[in-house]
Structure 1
């Protein structure tokens, strides 16, 4: 039996509702009747009675071949999964005394991530005596975000997280 969002699909004798709205094998409305009558009608056609909308009042059932119905549902789920895009959070780490060429390399990497539709977290890592100069290094993150402002927007401004200071940048829609 197929599992649908944590609940099982009820078919044939498993449907215990008093009244159900029945949809025929060709998609036509057959009206409201008892679940027993609907099951007999489905059995006469050598088909199954499948509950497709349990929360409706009265619940909606369909007369169809269960194997074919399950196959169609799995195919639709697979198609939906294929078309969705998940956004990842990519991280770029730097130190406060980063050189210009290294900064440009990090900028180009961030630009590639943003063009692919991912969010980018840019983190400045402080060690030792650099911790006392955290506020003077905020401009590095601000300039980094400014350089990418043509394709991205700032989600979260510079924030200190332990030994790091980070900003989150997401692509423009």
Structure 2
């Protein structure tokens, strides 16, 4: 039974490598052109050669022949260690993703008759979110007959925007949606 699992695992590993690698570039026997423009390991031009000669040169150096420009006439192939190339490319992609900042939308919920101290606490939270580079969704929740006075919610939204004016711009003005009034603040871009 265990032998069956090992063969299944090997098949999955082979399939995964084939699927991931074959989507990028053609290597070695996957190249279909008769002749190719060959580039050496260090980037030197070796000229236009027959495909089998290029594969032989790569095999003598224990490296791979990789088709880097399949649409060129003739296709451009480079001699390189493909495994090392894929590893370095994955490393570069990971580093680029690490430096990338994803902006989130944080929410601050208020009521129209909020007390001053509670308002200041919520406003400081909004400032903290904006300083972290996140957008802030300000939601004023109306209950019962409070919805008949949307001007209270609008005033509260603008008061919060005034409190955070050094850190934020109003991206979306206060708008009543059902029983909630929503405003979105975006962090100020500092040059």
Fold shared by both chains (TM-score > 0.5): yes
Residues 1:104 and 2:104 are matched in the alignment: no
Match of 2:147, SS? helix
Residue-by-residue CA offset, 1:79-104 (whole Å, 9 max, x unaligned): 11211111111111111111111110
Match of 1:87, SS? coil
How far, CA to CA, are the matches of 1:99 and 1:53 in structure 2?
66
Match of 1:72 in 2: 88
How far apart are 1:106 and its partner, in Å?
0.6
Bigger Cα displacement from structure 2, 151-160 vs 109-118 = 151-160
How far, CA to CA, are the matches of 1:19 and 1:155 in structure 2?
57
How far, CA to CA, are the matches of 1:17 and 1:131 in structure 2?
72
Residues 1:95 and 2:95 are matched in the alignment: no
Match of 2:137, SS? strand
Residues 1:57 and 2:76 are matched in the alignment: no
How far apart are 1:140 and its partner, in Å?
0.6
Instruction: Count residues in correspondence.
Output: 171
Residue-by-residue CA offset, 1:96-128 (whole Å, 9 max, x unaligned): 111111110011101111111111111111121
Equivalent pair of 2:112/2:152 in contact (CA under 8 Å): no
- Check 1:41–1:98 CA distance in 2 against 1; reply closer, same or farther (3 A cut): same
Of residues 115, 118, 136, the one that matches 2:152 is 136
Q: How does 1:1-173 map to 2 (within 5 A)?
A: 1=17, 3=20, 7-17=23-33, 20-33=36-49, 35-54=51-70, 56-58=71-73, 59-173=75-189
Match of 1:43, SS? helix
Match of 2:26, SS? coil
How far, CA to CA, are the matches of 2:35 and 2:137 in structure 1?
55
State which structure, 1 or 2, has the greater radius of gyration over its C-alpha atoms: 2
Unaligned regions of 5+ residues in structure 2, if any? 1-16
> What RMSD over aligned residues (CA atoms) do the two structures have, in Å?
2.3
Bigger Cα displacement from structure 2, 57-66 vs 152-161 = 57-66
